[in-house]
Amino acid sequence: MEEEVAMDLEKKREKAYKEAMKHKKRRDILNDEAKKWANKRDELNKKARALAKEGNVHKEKRDQLNEKVKEAKKLRDEWNKKYREMEREIAKKKKEKMPKGGKNLKKLKAQLKALEFKYQTTSLTKEKEEELIELMRKLSKEIEDIEKQLEDSEEIRKMMEEANKIRDKAEEYHKLVSKYADEAQEEHEKMVELFEKADKLRDEADEAQEKFIEAKLKADEEHKFFIEEINKVKDYEKMLISLKHKRSKKKGVDEESMEKAREIYEKFKKGEKLSTEDLMLLQKSGFL
């Protein structure tokens, strides 16, 4: 009867051990898979951080350039304001220098502009067209003569030279506004491109993290089954040892020899080399 019980326990122990090894193998495979996804996640996050860092460099450059745009605009507007003020001063001075009883230069220019508009937009006979052209020519000559007369004034000439310098300065800052704005736009586009790439990599890293968690949970589940089966193996081994202990008592093996036999049996399971005396004690104690 005891022999049948021992055989049944041994079969159950063997079955539990095989099941434990199956779960251990699955656990190890799943842990390897989880490690693979974790490594991929970390690599993707590392690349995303590098791209974001590079993007922030371009962001900083863009912001610096935008500050330069603001400063250049401010200076450009200041010089344009000076230029408009100078134009008003020149116009005022020209008015003062205009010959007494002479025609108003501003009105002459307005008349010429009106005639030019009429010439471009009205259908005229050849005769009327020639009359209009002749009238525009006379007005242009009159304006030219008056302006030449005014420009001959040393005071007005110097004021116009100063106005040209101011206008050139305003134009210089306007070019800087365009230059800095274009450069800022380039930096902005590079920043956006890098941030978009970083976001895409983070999304991929999040997917890898989900797969890591999935594999890790399955691995933990397999480990739980492995422990359950190993505990069964240990329980069956305890029952077998207890059964063998009962047998040994019947054979007259004392407790001290039984304890020593247990230690030798553990060595035997680990594959350690045993002496002939050890093997005999195992056999006598019922372990073999």
pLDDT for 102 equals 56
How is the chain classified by DSSP, letter by letter?
Answer: -HHHHHHHHHHHHHHHHHHHHHHHHHHHHHHHHHHHHHHHHHHHHHHHHHHHHHHHHHHHHHHHHHHHHHHHHHHHHHHHHHHHHHHHHHHHHHHHHSPTTPPPHHHHHHHHHHHHHHHHHS---HHHHHHHHHHHHHHHHHHHHHHHHHHTSHHHHHHHHHHHHHHHHHHHHHHHHHHHHHHHHHHHHHHHHHHHHHHHHHHHHHHHHHHHHHHHHHHHHHHHHHHHHHHHHHHHHHHHHHHHHHHHHHTT--HHHHHHHHHHHHHHHTT----HHHHHHHHHHT--
What pLDDT was estimated at residue 119?
81
Residue 250: predicted pLDDT:
47
The two three-digit tokens of residue 244, written as one number: 């063998």
What is the per-residue pLDDT for 262?
74
| pLDDT score at 64 | 97
Q: What is the pLDDT along the chain (288 residues), one digit of tens a residue?
A: 456 766 877 888 889 999 999 999 999 999 999 999 999 999 999 999 999 999 999 999 999 999 999 999 999 999 999 999 999 998 888 777 666 555 677 788 888 888 888 888 888 788 888 888 888 898 898 888 777 776 667 788 888 899 999 999 999 999 999 999 999 999 999 999 999 999 999 999 999 999 999 999 999 999 999 999 999 988 888 887 777 666 655 455 556 666 777 777 777 667 677 677 776 776 666 665
Tokens linked to 226: 């492995």
